[in-house]
Amino acid sequence: MQNITLTIGGMTCQGCANGVSRALKSVAGVEQVQVDLAAHRAEVAFDATQTNTAALIEAVEDVGFEASL
């Protein structure tokens, strides 16, 4: 298991945070997601044999937000 904290850009309400959470959870191998709207961060725990940081960033960007490590 690997844990990362992404900085998320563009979240302005809890709906945005829920959307980011859903997008991350939809990635195969993601085990746990905690999105903090106020802190503009998402903590993600995932199986590194199934996915990687680049794929997680892409999943967030695909739903209209920015993500960086």
Q: Which is nearer to ligand 9UX, 15 or 69 (CB)?
A: 15
Q: Which of residues 2-31 bind ligand 9UX (CB under 6 A)?
A: 12-13, 15-16
The residue with its CB nearest to ligand 9UX is 15
The Cα-based distances of 68 to 32, 34, 37, 61, 64 in angstroms read: 18, 16, 15, 10, 13
Could you tell me the smallest distance in angstroms from the CB atom of residue 64 to ligand 9UX?
A: 7
* Site of interaction with ligand 9UX (CB under 6 A): 12-13, 15-16
